[in-house]
Amino acid sequence: MINQNLLESMTQGDLKGFEQAYLSYRDEFIMWANKNYYCDFEESRDVYQATVIQFYENVQSGRLTKLTSDLKTYLFAIGKNKIRELRDSGRRFREMQDRYEVPEDDEDKAEKELLFEQVESSLENLGDPCKRLLELYYYYKKSLLEIAELLEYKNSDTVKNLKYKCLGRLRKLYRQN
């Protein structure tokens, strides 16, 4: 019922309703996109903004006059489609880029694969929370502040200190292998 009232007020041009819709699910969407699609904070935020703009345009154009689901479900479905579109466009770009790259010789490739397997094995043996922290920082390109929020640490300095210790432990495990 609240969703329908919100929709009606937005149809009449009430921007407070639009703002309420935007703020209601923003943080939850960002965490959801990060967890399920490994989007970084900026990417998640941009996708959410595009999602809410699409929702607003659907309401203003008359394409959406009645919600048959919860507003959250509707927004997250739009967001999921936007993430997929973003990923597909990036994939097409990488495919074109791959066509023009100079191929590596087999010896270099085998050497890199062995190194990668050794690092991966060391990372597996490292365990949590270090494994998760290093993956978030290096693989998902999260900032120290974002990691502090995601892993519920006191602040970014705590994460920075822990990252340093975790890298030391990872190096030690790598040398043992």
**Regarding predicted confidence, which is higher, 29 or 168?**
29
Please report the pLDDT score of residue 156 as a whole number. Answer: 86
Q: Which residue has the tokens 């699609």?
A: 37
**Regarding predicted confidence, which is higher, 110 or 145?**
145
- Identify whether residues 85 and 11 lie together within a single domain: yes
Q: What is the DSSP letter of 127?
A: -
Yes or no: say if 67 and 3 are a contact pair by the CB < 8 Å rule.
yes
User: What's the domain count of the chain?
Assistant: 2
Q: What is the DSSP letter of 154?
A: S
- Identify whether residues 7 and 91 lie together within a single domain: yes
Beta carbons within 8 Å of 34's beta carbon, 6+ residues apart: 40, 41, 44, 150
Cα dihedral 108→114→115→117 (10° resolution)? 140
Q: What is the pTM of this model?
A: 0.51
Please report the pLDDT score of residue 125 as a whole number. Answer: 85
32, 66, 99 - which closes a domain? 99
- Residue 149 belongs to a domain with what CATH number? 1.10.10
- Residue 18 belongs to a domain with what CATH number? 1.10.1740.10
Please report the pLDDT score of residue 78 as a whole number. Answer: 94
- Identify whether residues 81 and 38 lie together within a single domain: yes
- Identify whether residues 94 and 122 lie together within a single domain: no
Residues 71-128 have pLDDT tens digits of 899 999 999 998 888 877 766 556 655 655 555 566 777 777 887 788 788 878 888 8
Residues 19-53 have pLDDT tens digits of 887 888 999 999 999 888 888 888 888 899 999 98
Please report the pLDDT score of residue 80 as a whole number. Answer: 92
- Identify whether residues 6 and 88 lie together within a single domain: yes
